A and B are shown apart, each in its own frame.
Chain A
Amino acid sequence: MSETTISALLLTLKTASLSTLIVMIPGTLLAYALARYAFPGKDIIATLVGLPLVMPPTAVGYLLLKLFSTHGLLGPDTLGFNPDILLTWKAVVVACSVMATPLVVRTARVTFEGINPRLEVMARTLGHGRVKTFFLYTLPLATRGLLAALILGFTRAVGEFGATITIAGNIPGRTQTLSTAIFTAQQVGRDREAYFLLAVALLVGFAAIMASEYLARKGPGYLAG
Protein backbone atom coordinates (compact mmCIF):
# COMPACT_ATOMS: atom_id res chain seq x y z
CA MET A 1 0.00 0.00 0.00
CA SER A 2 1.41 3.34 -0.99
CA GLU A 3 2.26 6.14 1.37
CA THR A 4 -0.27 8.43 -0.28
CA THR A 5 -3.06 5.96 0.41
CA ILE A 6 -2.19 5.87 4.09
CA SER A 7 -2.01 9.63 4.22
CA ALA A 8 -5.36 9.93 2.46
CA LEU A 9 -6.94 7.69 5.10
CA LEU A 10 -5.32 9.58 7.97
CA LEU A 11 -6.36 12.92 6.50
CA THR A 12 -9.92 11.65 6.11
CA LEU A 13 -10.02 10.54 9.73
CA LYS A 14 -8.63 13.87 10.88
CA THR A 15 -10.83 16.13 8.73
CA ALA A 16 -14.01 14.13 9.28
CA SER A 17 -13.49 14.12 13.04
CA LEU A 18 -12.65 17.81 13.12
CA SER A 19 -15.60 18.86 11.02
CA THR A 20 -17.97 16.70 13.07
CA LEU A 21 -16.70 18.37 16.20
CA ILE A 22 -17.05 21.80 14.64
CA VAL A 23 -20.61 21.13 13.49
CA MET A 24 -21.94 19.24 16.53
CA ILE A 25 -21.98 22.00 19.13
CA PRO A 26 -23.44 24.92 17.16
CA GLY A 27 -25.56 22.45 15.20
CA THR A 28 -27.07 21.03 18.38
CA LEU A 29 -27.79 24.48 19.79
CA LEU A 30 -29.31 25.64 16.53
CA ALA A 31 -31.41 22.48 16.32
CA TYR A 32 -32.66 23.11 19.85
CA ALA A 33 -33.59 26.69 19.01
CA LEU A 34 -35.40 25.52 15.87
CA ALA A 35 -37.22 22.80 17.80
CA ARG A 36 -38.31 24.90 20.78
CA TYR A 37 -38.57 28.57 19.94
CA ALA A 38 -40.34 30.79 17.48
CA PHE A 39 -38.21 33.68 16.30
CA PRO A 40 -38.09 35.96 13.27
CA GLY A 41 -36.19 34.47 10.34
CA LYS A 42 -36.56 30.93 11.68
CA ASP A 43 -37.71 29.49 8.36
CA ILE A 44 -34.96 31.26 6.44
CA ILE A 45 -32.30 29.92 8.79
CA ALA A 46 -33.71 26.40 8.63
CA THR A 47 -33.74 26.59 4.82
CA LEU A 48 -30.21 27.94 4.53
CA VAL A 49 -28.89 25.25 6.85
CA GLY A 50 -30.69 22.58 4.84
CA LEU A 51 -29.50 23.78 1.42
CA PRO A 52 -26.29 21.71 1.17
CA LEU A 53 -28.47 18.61 1.39
CA VAL A 54 -30.17 19.34 -1.92
CA MET A 55 -27.63 21.41 -3.86
CA PRO A 56 -25.03 19.78 -6.08
CA PRO A 57 -21.92 19.45 -3.88
CA THR A 58 -19.83 20.99 -6.62
CA ALA A 59 -22.10 24.04 -6.56
CA VAL A 60 -21.59 24.37 -2.82
CA GLY A 61 -17.87 23.94 -3.42
CA TYR A 62 -17.91 26.65 -6.05
CA LEU A 63 -19.73 28.99 -3.67
CA LEU A 64 -17.14 28.31 -0.98
CA LEU A 65 -14.38 28.84 -3.51
CA LYS A 66 -15.76 32.28 -4.30
CA LEU A 67 -16.18 33.03 -0.60
CA PHE A 68 -12.56 32.22 0.25
CA SER A 69 -10.97 33.56 -2.93
CA THR A 70 -8.73 36.65 -2.74
CA HIS A 71 -11.56 39.15 -3.09
CA GLY A 72 -14.27 36.95 -1.55
CA LEU A 73 -16.28 37.74 1.58
CA LEU A 74 -14.00 35.54 3.67
CA GLY A 75 -10.95 36.05 1.50
CA PRO A 76 -7.59 37.61 2.47
CA ASP A 77 -8.54 41.05 1.09
CA THR A 78 -11.66 41.35 3.23
CA LEU A 79 -10.24 39.75 6.37
CA GLY A 80 -6.92 41.66 6.20
CA PHE A 81 -4.92 38.43 6.67
CA ASN A 82 -4.59 35.22 4.75
CA PRO A 83 -6.37 32.33 6.48
CA ASP A 84 -4.73 30.09 3.87
CA ILE A 85 -7.66 27.78 3.40
CA LEU A 86 -7.99 26.96 -0.27
CA LEU A 87 -6.13 23.90 -1.48
CA THR A 88 -5.10 22.90 2.08
CA TRP A 89 -6.45 20.32 4.52
CA LYS A 90 -8.39 23.21 6.12
CA ALA A 91 -10.43 23.46 2.92
CA VAL A 92 -11.35 19.79 3.35
CA VAL A 93 -12.60 20.56 6.86
CA VAL A 94 -14.60 23.55 5.61
CA ALA A 95 -16.19 21.51 2.81
CA CYS A 96 -17.01 18.59 5.10
CA SER A 97 -18.44 20.84 7.82
CA VAL A 98 -20.74 22.65 5.43
CA MET A 99 -21.92 19.42 3.82
CA ALA A 100 -22.48 17.64 7.17
CA THR A 101 -24.41 20.50 8.78
CA PRO A 102 -27.89 19.76 7.34
CA LEU A 103 -27.82 16.12 8.44
CA VAL A 104 -26.65 16.98 11.93
CA VAL A 105 -29.12 19.82 12.43
CA ARG A 106 -32.07 17.88 11.03
CA THR A 107 -31.42 14.77 13.05
CA ALA A 108 -30.86 16.78 16.22
CA ARG A 109 -33.94 18.89 15.61
CA VAL A 110 -36.19 15.86 15.21
CA THR A 111 -34.67 14.45 18.38
CA PHE A 112 -35.44 17.59 20.39
CA GLU A 113 -38.92 17.81 18.94
CA GLY A 114 -39.51 14.30 20.24
CA ILE A 115 -38.75 15.29 23.82
CA ASN A 116 -41.79 16.40 25.80
CA PRO A 117 -41.17 20.09 26.58
CA ARG A 118 -43.22 19.61 29.75
CA LEU A 119 -40.34 17.56 31.15
CA GLU A 120 -38.19 20.66 30.84
CA VAL A 121 -40.93 22.66 32.53
CA MET A 122 -40.82 20.20 35.43
CA ALA A 123 -37.08 20.67 35.72
CA ARG A 124 -37.64 24.43 35.87
CA THR A 125 -40.19 24.10 38.67
CA LEU A 126 -37.69 21.97 40.58
CA GLY A 127 -35.35 24.93 40.74
CA HIS A 128 -33.19 24.54 37.64
CA GLY A 129 -32.51 27.51 35.38
CA ARG A 130 -32.68 27.32 31.60
CA VAL A 131 -29.04 26.41 31.09
CA LYS A 132 -28.98 23.78 33.81
CA THR A 133 -32.22 22.31 32.51
CA PHE A 134 -30.72 22.01 29.04
CA PHE A 135 -27.56 20.29 30.21
CA LEU A 136 -29.01 18.13 32.99
CA TYR A 137 -32.31 17.15 31.40
CA THR A 138 -32.65 17.93 27.70
CA LEU A 139 -29.23 16.68 26.60
CA PRO A 140 -29.35 13.40 28.54
CA LEU A 141 -32.81 12.75 27.13
CA ALA A 142 -31.48 13.38 23.63
CA THR A 143 -28.37 11.18 23.79
CA ARG A 144 -29.55 8.58 21.30
CA GLY A 145 -30.64 11.06 18.69
CA LEU A 146 -27.58 13.23 19.10
CA LEU A 147 -25.32 10.21 18.77
CA ALA A 148 -27.12 9.29 15.58
CA ALA A 149 -26.62 12.88 14.35
CA LEU A 150 -22.93 12.60 15.15
CA ILE A 151 -22.54 9.36 13.25
CA LEU A 152 -24.45 10.65 10.24
CA GLY A 153 -22.40 13.85 10.23
CA PHE A 154 -19.15 11.94 10.49
CA THR A 155 -19.96 9.55 7.66
CA ARG A 156 -21.19 12.38 5.49
CA ALA A 157 -17.82 14.05 6.07
CA VAL A 158 -15.94 10.84 5.28
CA GLY A 159 -17.78 10.51 2.00
CA GLU A 160 -17.62 14.17 0.95
CA PHE A 161 -16.34 14.52 -2.62
CA GLY A 162 -17.77 17.31 -4.74
CA ALA A 163 -17.23 20.32 -2.52
CA THR A 164 -13.88 18.98 -1.30
CA ILE A 165 -12.38 18.50 -4.75
CA THR A 166 -13.59 21.99 -5.73
CA ILE A 167 -11.94 23.94 -2.92
CA ALA A 168 -9.23 21.59 -1.63
CA GLY A 169 -8.29 19.86 -4.83
CA ASN A 170 -7.03 16.32 -4.94
CA ILE A 171 -3.37 16.64 -4.07
CA PRO A 172 -1.92 13.27 -3.03
CA GLY A 173 -0.31 13.45 0.41
CA ARG A 174 -1.81 16.88 1.08
CA THR A 175 -5.53 17.20 0.36
CA GLN A 176 -6.39 13.81 -1.00
CA THR A 177 -9.09 12.04 1.06
CA LEU A 178 -10.64 8.60 0.94
CA SER A 179 -13.20 9.53 -1.68
CA THR A 180 -10.90 11.57 -3.90
CA ALA A 181 -8.24 8.84 -3.62
CA ILE A 182 -10.74 6.24 -4.87
CA PHE A 183 -11.52 8.52 -7.80
CA THR A 184 -7.81 8.90 -8.66
CA ALA A 185 -6.98 5.22 -8.22
CA GLN A 186 -9.84 4.24 -10.49
CA GLN A 187 -8.93 6.89 -13.09
CA VAL A 188 -5.32 5.79 -13.38
CA GLY A 189 -6.18 2.09 -13.10
CA ARG A 190 -4.55 1.31 -9.74
CA ASP A 191 -7.14 -1.34 -9.01
CA ARG A 192 -5.64 -2.88 -5.87
CA GLU A 193 -5.54 0.50 -4.19
CA ALA A 194 -9.08 1.26 -5.31
CA TYR A 195 -10.32 -2.09 -3.91
CA PHE A 196 -8.62 -1.46 -0.61
CA LEU A 197 -10.14 2.00 -0.29
CA LEU A 198 -13.51 0.63 -1.34
CA ALA A 199 -13.29 -1.94 1.45
CA VAL A 200 -12.53 0.80 3.99
CA ALA A 201 -15.45 2.88 2.71
CA LEU A 202 -17.77 -0.15 2.92
CA LEU A 203 -16.66 -0.91 6.46
CA VAL A 204 -17.20 2.66 7.67
CA GLY A 205 -20.57 2.89 5.97
CA PHE A 206 -21.70 -0.50 7.25
CA ALA A 207 -20.74 0.31 10.83
CA ALA A 208 -22.40 3.72 10.65
CA ILE A 209 -25.71 2.44 9.34
CA MET A 210 -25.70 -0.45 11.81
CA ALA A 211 -25.08 1.98 14.66
CA SER A 212 -27.77 4.42 13.58
CA GLU A 213 -30.23 1.57 13.07
CA TYR A 214 -29.54 0.49 16.62
CA LEU A 215 -29.98 4.03 17.89
CA ALA A 216 -33.17 4.59 15.94
CA ARG A 217 -34.70 1.31 17.09
CA LYS A 218 -37.96 1.91 18.85
CA GLY A 219 -37.16 2.72 22.42
CA PRO A 220 -36.54 5.62 24.70
CA GLY A 221 -34.65 8.58 23.30
CA TYR A 222 -31.97 8.26 25.91
CA LEU A 223 -29.47 5.53 26.61
CA ALA A 224 -30.41 3.45 29.61
CA GLY A 225 -27.96 4.19 32.40
Chain B
Amino acid sequence: MTQIAPLQMHFRLPLDRFALEVEYTTTQQVTGVFGVSGAGKTSLLESLAGLRRGVQGVIRLGHDTWLDSSQKVYLPPNRRHIGYVPQESLLFPHKNVRENLLAGAGRARKNGQPLEALFRRVTDLLDVETLLARRVDTLSGGERQRVALGRAICSGPRILLLDEPLASLDVGLRYKILPFLHRIKKEFRIPIILVSHDPVEVQALCDELLVLKEGKIIDRGAPRQVLTNPEIFPVASREGFQNIFPAIVHKHEAEISLLRMGEADSDIEIVVPRVEASPGARVLVSIAAYEIILGTRRPEGLSARNILPARVRSVHSAGTLNLLTARLAENVPDLVVELTEHSCREMDLRPGKPVYLIIKTASWRIHHEE
Protein backbone atom coordinates (compact mmCIF):
# COMPACT_ATOMS: atom_id res chain seq x y z
CA MET B 1 0.00 0.00 0.00
CA THR B 2 1.40 3.40 -0.93
CA GLN B 3 2.25 5.83 1.80
CA ILE B 4 0.03 8.82 2.37
CA ALA B 5 1.92 12.00 1.53
CA PRO B 6 2.35 14.07 4.67
CA LEU B 7 0.48 17.35 4.73
CA GLN B 8 2.09 20.20 6.55
CA MET B 9 0.15 23.33 7.37
CA HIS B 10 1.67 26.15 9.29
CA PHE B 11 -0.05 29.37 8.39
CA ARG B 12 -2.00 32.37 9.47
CA LEU B 13 -4.84 34.14 7.68
CA PRO B 14 -6.49 37.24 9.09
CA LEU B 15 -10.30 37.02 8.86
CA ASP B 16 -12.96 39.56 9.80
CA ARG B 17 -13.36 38.82 13.49
CA PHE B 18 -10.29 36.70 14.22
CA ALA B 19 -7.28 35.19 12.54
CA LEU B 20 -7.17 31.63 11.32
CA GLU B 21 -4.06 30.05 12.82
CA VAL B 22 -3.24 26.55 11.75
CA GLU B 23 -0.32 24.52 13.00
CA TYR B 24 -0.90 20.98 11.87
CA THR B 25 1.00 18.15 10.26
CA THR B 26 -0.58 14.85 9.45
CA THR B 27 0.09 11.60 7.65
CA GLN B 28 -3.43 10.32 8.25
CA GLN B 29 -5.48 9.66 5.19
CA VAL B 30 -8.69 11.39 6.20
CA THR B 31 -8.54 14.43 8.41
CA GLY B 32 -11.81 15.94 9.52
CA VAL B 33 -12.12 19.63 10.20
CA PHE B 34 -14.89 20.09 12.69
CA GLY B 35 -16.47 23.10 14.30
CA VAL B 36 -19.52 25.33 14.38
CA SER B 37 -20.22 27.49 11.34
CA GLY B 38 -18.07 30.59 11.25
CA ALA B 39 -15.18 28.84 13.00
CA GLY B 40 -12.95 29.16 9.93
CA LYS B 41 -13.38 25.67 8.45
CA THR B 42 -14.01 26.77 4.88
CA SER B 43 -11.27 29.41 5.13
CA LEU B 44 -8.86 26.65 6.08
CA LEU B 45 -9.87 24.63 3.06
CA GLU B 46 -9.66 27.62 0.74
CA SER B 47 -6.24 28.51 2.08
CA LEU B 48 -5.12 24.99 1.25
CA ALA B 49 -6.63 25.24 -2.21
CA GLY B 50 -4.89 28.52 -2.92
CA LEU B 51 -8.13 30.49 -3.14
CA ARG B 52 -7.27 32.97 -0.41
CA ARG B 53 -4.94 35.91 -0.68
CA GLY B 54 -3.03 37.00 2.38
CA VAL B 55 -2.17 33.58 3.75
CA GLN B 56 1.17 33.77 5.54
CA GLY B 57 3.23 30.71 6.36
CA VAL B 58 4.04 27.34 4.90
CA ILE B 59 1.89 24.67 3.25
CA ARG B 60 3.50 21.50 1.94
CA LEU B 61 2.17 18.27 0.58
CA GLY B 62 4.84 15.58 0.42
CA HIS B 63 7.84 17.21 -1.23
CA ASP B 64 5.85 19.97 -2.89
CA THR B 65 5.74 23.42 -1.41
CA TRP B 66 2.49 25.22 -2.18
CA LEU B 67 3.08 28.16 0.03
CA ASP B 68 6.15 29.56 1.67
CA SER B 69 5.61 33.24 2.24
CA SER B 70 9.19 33.80 3.47
CA GLN B 71 10.45 32.50 0.10
CA LYS B 72 7.66 34.27 -1.81
CA VAL B 73 6.32 30.93 -2.99
CA TYR B 74 2.61 31.00 -3.73
CA LEU B 75 1.27 28.35 -6.06
CA PRO B 76 -2.02 29.22 -7.76
CA PRO B 77 -4.88 26.74 -7.34
CA ASN B 78 -4.37 25.22 -10.78
CA ARG B 79 -0.86 24.12 -9.87
CA ARG B 80 -1.67 22.54 -6.51
CA HIS B 81 -3.17 19.32 -7.91
CA ILE B 82 -6.18 19.38 -5.65
CA GLY B 83 -9.61 17.92 -6.06
CA TYR B 84 -12.06 20.37 -4.52
CA VAL B 85 -15.66 19.50 -3.81
CA PRO B 86 -17.69 22.45 -2.55
CA GLN B 87 -21.01 22.32 -0.71
CA GLU B 88 -23.01 23.47 -3.69
CA SER B 89 -21.32 20.98 -6.07
CA LEU B 90 -20.86 23.74 -8.69
CA LEU B 91 -21.13 21.57 -11.75
CA PHE B 92 -20.57 23.36 -15.04
CA PRO B 93 -24.06 24.01 -16.42
CA HIS B 94 -22.91 24.19 -20.04
CA LYS B 95 -21.47 20.69 -19.94
CA ASN B 96 -23.21 17.36 -19.54
CA VAL B 97 -22.25 14.85 -16.87
CA ARG B 98 -19.52 13.19 -18.92
CA GLU B 99 -17.98 16.53 -19.86
CA ASN B 100 -18.13 17.64 -16.25
CA LEU B 101 -16.39 14.49 -15.11
CA LEU B 102 -13.67 15.08 -17.68
CA ALA B 103 -13.29 18.80 -17.02
CA GLY B 104 -9.99 18.27 -15.23
CA ALA B 105 -8.88 15.27 -17.26
CA GLY B 106 -6.10 17.26 -18.92
CA ARG B 107 -4.21 17.38 -15.67
CA ALA B 108 -4.73 13.68 -14.93
CA ARG B 109 -3.32 12.89 -18.37
CA LYS B 110 -0.40 15.25 -17.89
CA ASN B 111 0.37 13.57 -14.56
CA GLY B 112 0.60 10.28 -16.41
CA GLN B 113 -2.59 8.76 -15.02
CA PRO B 114 -4.28 6.22 -17.25
CA LEU B 115 -7.32 8.38 -17.84
CA GLU B 116 -9.60 5.81 -19.37
CA ALA B 117 -9.12 3.38 -16.52
CA LEU B 118 -9.53 6.17 -14.00
CA PHE B 119 -12.72 7.36 -15.66
CA ARG B 120 -14.18 3.86 -15.68
CA ARG B 121 -13.19 3.30 -12.08
CA VAL B 122 -14.78 6.56 -10.99
CA THR B 123 -18.03 6.10 -12.88
CA ASP B 124 -18.28 2.58 -11.52
CA LEU B 125 -17.42 3.56 -7.96
CA LEU B 126 -19.82 6.48 -7.85
CA ASP B 127 -22.51 4.71 -9.79
CA VAL B 128 -22.89 7.45 -12.41
CA GLU B 129 -22.62 5.40 -15.66
CA THR B 130 -26.30 5.86 -16.37
CA LEU B 131 -26.04 9.61 -15.93
CA LEU B 132 -23.22 10.34 -18.36
CA ALA B 133 -25.31 11.86 -21.14
CA ARG B 134 -27.58 13.85 -18.81
CA ARG B 135 -27.61 17.62 -18.49
CA VAL B 136 -26.53 18.60 -15.01
CA ASP B 137 -29.68 20.61 -14.30
CA THR B 138 -31.70 17.40 -14.49
CA LEU B 139 -29.74 15.73 -11.69
CA SER B 140 -30.94 15.28 -8.13
CA GLY B 141 -28.96 16.69 -5.22
CA GLY B 142 -27.30 13.38 -4.45
CA GLU B 143 -26.42 12.78 -8.09
CA ARG B 144 -24.91 16.23 -8.35
CA GLN B 145 -22.66 15.61 -5.36
CA ARG B 146 -21.54 12.29 -6.80
CA VAL B 147 -20.68 13.92 -10.10
CA ALA B 148 -18.81 16.70 -8.28
CA LEU B 149 -16.82 14.06 -6.41
CA GLY B 150 -16.15 12.19 -9.64
CA ARG B 151 -15.04 15.35 -11.40
CA ALA B 152 -12.54 16.07 -8.64
CA ILE B 153 -11.10 12.55 -8.74
CA CYS B 154 -10.93 12.39 -12.54
CA SER B 155 -8.57 15.36 -12.46
CA GLY B 156 -5.94 13.12 -10.86
CA PRO B 157 -5.55 15.10 -7.64
CA ARG B 158 -2.90 14.49 -5.01
CA ILE B 159 -5.30 15.50 -2.27
CA LEU B 160 -9.06 15.80 -1.97
CA LEU B 161 -10.62 18.78 -0.24
CA LEU B 162 -14.25 18.21 0.64
CA ASP B 163 -16.23 21.13 2.00
CA GLU B 164 -19.26 19.68 3.77
CA PRO B 165 -20.03 17.53 0.76
CA LEU B 166 -23.22 16.26 2.36
CA ALA B 167 -24.45 19.44 4.00
CA SER B 168 -26.69 20.54 1.16
CA LEU B 169 -28.51 17.22 1.11
CA ASP B 170 -31.38 16.25 3.34
CA VAL B 171 -30.71 13.69 6.03
CA GLY B 172 -32.07 10.71 4.15
CA LEU B 173 -29.93 11.40 1.13
CA ARG B 174 -26.91 12.39 3.15
CA TYR B 175 -26.27 8.93 4.41
CA LYS B 176 -26.67 7.53 0.94
CA ILE B 177 -23.59 9.48 -0.17
CA LEU B 178 -21.54 8.30 2.80
CA PRO B 179 -20.79 4.89 1.28
CA PHE B 180 -19.44 6.58 -1.85
CA LEU B 181 -17.08 8.65 0.24
CA HIS B 182 -16.09 5.49 2.02
CA ARG B 183 -15.29 3.77 -1.24
CA ILE B 184 -13.22 6.70 -2.38
CA LYS B 185 -11.26 6.56 0.83
CA LYS B 186 -10.50 2.91 0.34
CA GLU B 187 -9.88 2.97 -3.41
CA PHE B 188 -7.72 6.06 -3.70
CA ARG B 189 -4.84 6.29 -1.32
CA ILE B 190 -4.68 10.06 -1.28
CA PRO B 191 -5.10 12.36 1.68
CA ILE B 192 -8.56 13.81 2.17
CA ILE B 193 -9.47 16.87 4.18
CA LEU B 194 -13.12 16.77 5.09
CA VAL B 195 -14.84 19.83 6.48
CA SER B 196 -17.93 18.84 8.37
CA HIS B 197 -20.14 19.60 11.29
CA ASP B 198 -21.85 16.25 11.16
CA PRO B 199 -20.61 13.91 13.90
CA VAL B 200 -21.84 10.85 12.01
CA GLU B 201 -19.96 11.81 8.87
CA VAL B 202 -16.69 12.54 10.65
CA GLN B 203 -16.82 9.38 12.71
CA ALA B 204 -17.63 7.26 9.73
CA LEU B 205 -14.83 8.62 7.57
CA CYS B 206 -12.11 10.39 9.48
CA ASP B 207 -8.92 8.93 10.85
CA GLU B 208 -8.24 12.09 12.72
CA LEU B 209 -10.33 15.05 13.67
CA LEU B 210 -9.28 18.58 14.38
CA VAL B 211 -11.64 21.03 15.96
CA LEU B 212 -11.61 24.69 15.05
CA LYS B 213 -12.98 27.43 17.23
CA GLU B 214 -12.63 31.04 16.17
CA GLY B 215 -9.75 30.17 13.92
CA LYS B 216 -7.74 28.14 16.42
CA ILE B 217 -7.31 24.39 16.65
CA ILE B 218 -8.68 23.55 20.08
CA ASP B 219 -8.42 19.78 19.88
CA ARG B 220 -7.20 16.99 17.66
CA GLY B 221 -7.27 13.23 17.83
CA ALA B 222 -9.33 10.18 16.99
CA PRO B 223 -12.92 11.28 16.19
CA ARG B 224 -14.53 9.33 19.01
CA GLN B 225 -12.10 10.66 21.54
CA VAL B 226 -12.48 14.25 20.31
CA LEU B 227 -16.27 14.15 20.11
CA THR B 228 -16.65 12.86 23.66
CA ASN B 229 -14.20 15.41 25.00
CA PRO B 230 -16.22 17.40 27.55
CA GLU B 231 -15.03 20.64 25.94
CA ILE B 232 -16.11 19.61 22.47
CA PHE B 233 -19.20 17.53 23.22
CA PRO B 234 -21.59 20.45 23.83
CA VAL B 235 -20.67 22.04 20.48
CA ALA B 236 -20.65 18.74 18.66
CA SER B 237 -24.30 18.44 17.88
CA ARG B 238 -27.82 19.00 18.96
CA GLU B 239 -28.33 15.28 18.65
CA GLY B 240 -25.59 14.50 21.13
CA PHE B 241 -22.95 11.91 20.58
CA GLN B 242 -23.46 9.24 17.95
CA ASN B 243 -21.85 5.85 18.38
CA ILE B 244 -20.73 4.56 15.01
CA PHE B 245 -19.19 1.20 14.37
CA PRO B 246 -18.87 -1.38 11.62
CA ALA B 247 -20.77 -4.64 11.78
CA ILE B 248 -21.24 -7.78 9.74
CA VAL B 249 -24.62 -9.09 8.69
CA HIS B 250 -25.12 -12.47 10.33
CA LYS B 251 -28.61 -13.53 9.39
CA HIS B 252 -32.12 -12.30 8.68
CA GLU B 253 -35.27 -13.24 10.54
CA ALA B 254 -38.55 -11.91 9.18
CA GLU B 255 -38.55 -8.16 9.76
CA ILE B 256 -35.27 -8.04 11.67
CA SER B 257 -31.63 -8.74 10.98
CA LEU B 258 -28.93 -9.98 13.28
CA LEU B 259 -25.58 -8.23 13.03
CA ARG B 260 -22.27 -8.92 14.67
CA MET B 261 -20.50 -5.88 15.96
CA GLY B 262 -17.01 -4.98 14.79
CA GLU B 263 -14.90 -5.78 11.76
CA ALA B 264 -14.00 -9.27 12.86
CA ASP B 265 -16.65 -11.84 13.53
CA SER B 266 -17.26 -10.99 17.17
CA ASP B 267 -19.84 -12.75 19.27
CA ILE B 268 -21.59 -9.55 20.23
CA GLU B 269 -24.83 -9.83 18.34
CA ILE B 270 -27.32 -7.03 17.89
CA VAL B 271 -30.88 -7.00 16.59
CA VAL B 272 -31.60 -4.29 14.05
CA PRO B 273 -34.42 -3.52 11.61
CA ARG B 274 -34.16 -5.63 8.45
CA VAL B 275 -31.07 -4.77 6.38
CA GLU B 276 -31.08 -5.33 2.66
CA ALA B 277 -27.71 -7.03 2.52
CA SER B 278 -26.70 -10.65 2.32
CA PRO B 279 -25.09 -12.42 5.28
CA GLY B 280 -21.40 -11.63 5.48
CA ALA B 281 -21.85 -8.06 4.15
CA ARG B 282 -20.32 -5.21 6.10
CA VAL B 283 -22.49 -2.34 7.25
CA LEU B 284 -22.06 0.75 9.35
CA VAL B 285 -24.32 1.04 12.36
CA SER B 286 -25.05 4.02 14.52
CA ILE B 287 -26.85 4.64 17.76
CA ALA B 288 -27.25 7.94 19.56
CA ALA B 289 -25.72 7.96 23.02
CA TYR B 290 -28.99 9.19 24.53
CA GLU B 291 -30.94 6.25 23.10
CA ILE B 292 -29.10 3.69 25.17
CA ILE B 293 -30.63 2.77 28.51
CA LEU B 294 -28.38 1.47 31.22
CA GLY B 295 -29.24 -1.15 33.82
CA THR B 296 -27.17 -2.59 36.62
CA ARG B 297 -29.11 -5.87 36.58
CA ARG B 298 -30.32 -7.88 33.61
CA PRO B 299 -33.85 -6.61 33.00
CA GLU B 300 -36.72 -8.99 32.36
CA GLY B 301 -40.04 -8.65 30.56
CA LEU B 302 -38.79 -5.84 28.37
CA SER B 303 -39.80 -5.18 24.78
CA ALA B 304 -36.32 -4.04 23.81
CA ARG B 305 -34.57 -6.80 21.86
CA ASN B 306 -31.00 -5.76 22.63
CA ILE B 307 -29.73 -6.37 26.13
CA LEU B 308 -25.95 -6.26 25.98
CA PRO B 309 -23.77 -7.02 28.98
CA ALA B 310 -20.89 -4.59 29.35
CA ARG B 311 -18.49 -3.07 31.83
CA VAL B 312 -18.14 0.62 32.65
CA ARG B 313 -14.82 1.85 31.40
CA SER B 314 -14.99 5.51 32.23
CA VAL B 315 -17.41 8.22 33.23
CA HIS B 316 -16.83 11.87 32.59
CA SER B 317 -18.82 15.02 32.76
CA ALA B 318 -19.80 16.92 29.63
CA GLY B 319 -21.59 20.00 30.79
CA THR B 320 -24.94 19.07 32.30
CA LEU B 321 -24.60 15.45 31.29
CA ASN B 322 -22.28 12.59 31.92
CA LEU B 323 -20.80 10.46 29.20
CA LEU B 324 -20.19 6.89 30.16
CA THR B 325 -18.05 4.61 28.05
CA ALA B 326 -19.01 0.95 28.19
CA ARG B 327 -16.88 -1.95 27.01
CA LEU B 328 -18.72 -4.90 25.49
CA ALA B 329 -15.75 -7.01 24.45
CA GLU B 330 -12.10 -6.65 23.52
CA ASN B 331 -12.56 -6.77 19.78
CA VAL B 332 -15.54 -4.41 19.37
CA PRO B 333 -15.69 -0.65 19.77
CA ASP B 334 -16.86 0.74 23.08
CA LEU B 335 -20.25 2.41 23.24
CA VAL B 336 -20.81 5.83 24.72
CA VAL B 337 -23.96 6.30 26.81
CA GLU B 338 -25.45 9.64 27.81
CA LEU B 339 -26.68 9.86 31.39
CA THR B 340 -27.67 12.49 33.86
CA GLU B 341 -25.37 13.25 36.73
CA HIS B 342 -28.15 12.09 39.00
CA SER B 343 -28.49 8.58 37.53
CA CYS B 344 -24.75 8.17 37.68
CA ARG B 345 -24.71 8.82 41.37
CA GLU B 346 -27.85 6.85 42.08
CA MET B 347 -26.60 3.78 40.24
CA ASP B 348 -23.06 4.20 41.56
CA LEU B 349 -21.53 3.90 38.13
CA ARG B 350 -17.79 3.55 38.44
CA PRO B 351 -15.16 2.09 36.10
CA GLY B 352 -15.22 -1.71 36.23
CA LYS B 353 -18.87 -2.00 37.22
CA PRO B 354 -20.87 -4.57 35.19
CA VAL B 355 -23.91 -3.08 33.45
CA TYR B 356 -26.46 -3.93 30.76
CA LEU B 357 -27.05 -1.75 27.73
CA ILE B 358 -30.67 -1.77 26.61
CA ILE B 359 -31.46 -0.72 23.07
CA LYS B 360 -34.67 -0.88 21.05
CA THR B 361 -34.43 -2.51 17.64
CA ALA B 362 -35.73 0.60 15.93
CA SER B 363 -33.12 2.84 17.56
CA TRP B 364 -30.25 1.48 15.48
CA ARG B 365 -29.54 3.20 12.25
CA ILE B 366 -27.83 1.40 9.43
CA HIS B 367 -25.86 3.91 7.44
CA HIS B 368 -24.53 2.10 4.52
CA GLU B 369 -23.76 -1.14 2.93
CA GLU B 370 -20.27 -1.31 1.53
Contacts and interface: CB of A to CB of B under 8 A. Distances in A.
Contact of B106 (A127, A140, A220, A224): A127
B84 interface: yes
Given A126-B155, A127-B155, A121 B77 contact: yes
Interface in A34-60: none
Interface string A58-80: 00000000000000000000000
Interface in A74-133: 116, 118-119, 121-130, 133
Interface residues of A, number: 21
B86 A126 contact: no
A126 B103 contact: yes
Contacts of A128: 78, 104, 106
B90 interface: yes
Nearest to B151: A126
B93 interface: yes
B81 interface: yes
B148 to A, nearest CB: 9
Given A118-B86, A128-B78, A129-B78, A123 B94 contact: no
A23 interface: no
B155 A137 contact: no
Contacts of A130: 76
Given A127-B104, A127-B106, A122 B90 contact: yes
A151 interface: no
B51 interface: yes
B94 A140 contact: yes
A58 B84 CA distance: 54
Interface in B221-241: none
Contact of B107 (A116, A121, A127, A133): A127
A122 B78 contact: no
Given A116-B90, A220-B93, A222-B94, A125 B103 contact: no
Contacts of B137: 220
A220 B94 contact: yes
Contacts of B106: 127-128
Contacts of B152: 125-126
Contacts of A125: 49, 51, 77-78, 80, 82-84, 104, 152, 155
Given A127-B106, A128-B78, A122 B93 contact: no
A225 B94 contact: yes
Contact of A127 (B78, B90, B92): B78
A152 interface: no
A148 interface: no
Contacts of B90: 116, 118-119, 121-122
B251 to A, nearest CB: 46
A163 interface: no
Contacts of B49: 125
A141 interface: yes
Nearest to A140: B94
Given A118-B86, A121-B51, A121-B77, A126 B93 contact: no
A61 B69 CA distance: 53
Given A125-B78, A129-B76, A119 B107 contact: no
A-B pairs with lowest CB-CB distance, top 8: A126-B104, A127-B107, A125-B84, A222-B94, A124-B77, A126-B155, A122-B90, A124-B78
Interface of A: 116, 118-119, 121-130, 133, 137, 140-141, 220, 222, 224-225
8 contacts: A122-B84, A124-B78, A126-B104, A127-B110, A127-B155, A137-B92, A220-B137, A222-B93
